[in-house]
Amino acid sequence: MAKGGYLLGYDVGSSSVKASVIDSDTGNLVASAISPDTELEILAPEPGWAEQHPETWWDHIKRATTLLRCSSGVDLRNVTAIGISYQMHGLVMVDKDRNPLAPSIIWCDSRAVEIGNRAFEALGQEYCLRHFLNSPGNFTASKLRWVKMKRPDIYKKIHKIMLPGDYIAMKLTGEITTTPTGLSEGIMWNFTEKGLAKSLLDYYELDKKLIPNVVPSFSVQGKVRTDAAADLGLKPGTPVAYRAGDQPNNAFSLNVLNPGEVAATAGTSGVIYGVDDRPLYDGKNRVNTFVHVNYDEGNPRYGILQCINGTGIFNRWIRSTLGSINDTTIKYETMNEWGQQAKPGCEGLVMLPYGNGAERTLENREVQASVHGLNFNIHDKTHIMRAVQEGIVFALRYGLDVMRSMKVAVATVRAGHANMFLSPLFSEVFATVCGVQVEMYNTDGSQGAARGAGVGAGIFADEKEAFSGLKTVKTIEPNKELIQTYDNAYGKWLSILSSQGINSSYVDMDKDSDNLEVQHQAANTTDIKE
C-alpha cells in the first residue's frame, strides 16, 4: 500500500551530525548530508575529560538539514516522521528555561571512573550486576554524581538531566523525555524491578525528580514545534517517533533484533553488539548489557556490547600526525593502500589502540596507546598503517572473546559499509582475526533512525517492512591462509597487553573447525553469570 512521504533520521555523533531521508514507500535512501565536513571538536579542559556543547549538536542539526534540503531538492514538509540516534552515555543538564548549564560530559570522559568503582564496591558487585547488569562505572549516573560533588553550584540549578538524544528531541518538540534503553545506558534502570535504579540514585544522593518521564523507543514522543519547523524547513506537528543510542540504533539499522544476531561498527569507537533474550553480564564488567530498542517484558531483548574507544580516532590521529605528502593530508584510501603493502603481522610491529580514555574491556583502566617492536631498519609507513588497523582489530577480538565466554553466539556479523569497514584491509583482518563472516549493508545510523521513525509512527506495519530497502553490499569471509599468521600475531599482541598489567590469561586459542576454523572461546567462565 502506498504511504507517500519521507522519513527523516538524524545521527548525532561526537564527530559529526548526519541527516538522511528515506522514501517510506520503497524504503530506499533519497538523500543524506553531514555537518561539519571535518570532525567536531572534543573539548578536554583536564586530562581524561571529554566535553561538547549541546548547542553545537543543534547547530549542526540545522546545518545538515539545510545541506540536505539544498543539495537534493527534497521538500522536507513531506516528512511524516523523525527518528533520532545519538552518542550514548553523555550527560546534558538544563535549567528551568531549558538552557544547558554546562558542556555535556560525553561518552569517552573518564572523570567519574573512581566514583563508579566505589559505588560498585559499596552496593556490592553481585547486587549491581544482577540489578543493573553493569557496574555504575563511568556512565551517566556517575557523571551526575561527579557534578554534585565537584560543581554543586551547577547541580542546584538543574531542572532535568538528559542524554544527548533527549536534548535533540527536546529542541525539536519542547518535550523532555527519555527511554528505557536510555535509562539503561546511563545505569539508571533496575532490570529486576523493571524501573528506575532507585538504590543507586539514593546512594549517589541524586534527586529522582531530575530524571525525565519515560517513553517507548518506538512511539510518538512529541511533535515538532513551530519555531523548530521553521529552522529546519519541516511541517509543524511532524511526529518524533523513535530514539535510541548510537549502538542499539546501529544494530537496529542492520535489522539486528533477535538472539544470535550481531552488529559491528568502527567509527570513532569500535563496537560489537550482540542480541540475546537473557540478561547476561560479565562479572568483570568488561562488556556491558543494556535494554535493546525492541525490548518489552513479554519479549525481552538485551544488547550485549563491547566498546573500544580508540578505533577510528586512532586511525584519524595517525592520518593527521604522519599521513601527509607535501604538507597535504593524505586520503584514508591511500593509507589503506600503504597498509596492504606490509605483510600480515607487520614483521613484529604491534600497536595498542587505547588512547581515548578509560577502556571498558580493560576494566575501566586507562592503558594509553603504545607502539612495540619498532625496528628502524625494517619498519616504514606501510607497517605503521597496517599495525594501526591490526591493533584495533586485536582489541575488538579481545572483547569478542569475553562475549563468547558469556555464550553470546557470534558467527556472522553485520556492518554498515562505512567508516573503517570501507577499508578492504580492515574488513579482511576483522573477519580473519575474529573468525566471522562479515555482511556489509547499504545503511548507517541516520538511515536506521529514519526507519525506526517509520515503525514508531505506525507507517510501517512491522520491522520486516521497515527493512525492505536494506541490501547487502558485500560479504567478507575469513582468509583461511592467514589464520595461523594472525593467531601468532594476536598471541604476541596479548602478551604485550599483559605486560601493561592487564590479565589476559582467560583467553584460550583453541579452534573450532566447524565455525570458520577460527572460532575462539574463552576458557575461564567463572566470572560469567546469567
Contact 496, 352 (CB under 8 A): yes
Contact 349, 383 (CB under 8 A): yes
Contact 410, 436 (CB under 8 A): yes
The per-residue pLDDT for 322 is 84
Per-residue pLDDT of the chain (530 residues; tens, 9 = 90+): 446 799 999 999 999 999 999 999 999 999 999 999 888 999 999 998 999 999 999 999 999 999 999 989 899 999 999 999 999 999 999 999 999 999 999 999 999 999 999 999 999 999 999 999 999 999 999 999 999 999 999 999 999 999 999 999 999 999 999 999 999 999 999 999 989 999 999 999 999 999 999 999 999 999 999 999 999 999 999 999 999 999 999 999 999 999 999 999 998 899 999 999 999 999 888 999 999 999 988 889 999 999 999 999 999 999 988 877 777 788 999 999 999 999 999 999 999 999 988 898 998 888 999 999 999 999 999 999 999 999 999 999 999 999 999 999 898 999 999 899 999 999 999 999 999 999 999 999 999 999 999 999 999 988 889 998 899 999 999 999 999 999 999 999 999 999 988 876 544 333 333 333 333 333 233 333 43
The per-residue pLDDT for 412 is 93
Helix, strand, or coil here: 171? helix
DSSP letter assigned to residue 179 = -
- What superfamily does domain 308-440+479-524 belong to in CATH? ATPase, nucleotide binding domain (3.30.420.40)
Three-state SS string over 240-274 comes to EEEEEEHHHHHHHHCCCCCCCCEEEEECCCEEEEE
CA distance 205 to 191: 20
Query: Torsion angle, CA of 295/161/62/7, rounded to 10 degrees?
Result: 20
Site of grid cell 619498519 = 379
88 grid coordinates: 550514548
Q: Which residues contact 306 (CB under 8 A, 6 or more apart)?
A: 271, 272, 273, 286, 287, 288, 360, 361, 396, 399, 400, 402, 403
What residue ranges do the domains of the chain occupy?
Answer: 308-440+479-524
End-to-end Cα, the chain, rounded Å: 44
- Please name which of 247, 259, 222, 285 lies closest in space to residue 83, comparing C-alpha atoms: 222
CA distance 394 to 258: 26
Secondary structure element (H or E) that encloses residue 118, with its range: helix 113-123
Contact 136, 197 (CB under 8 A): no
449 grid coordinates: 533512525
Secondary structure element (H or E) that encloses residue 69, with its range: helix 54-72
| The Cα angle at residue 380 between residues 375 and 386, in degrees rounded to 5 | 100
H and E: helices and strands count for the chain: 17, 27
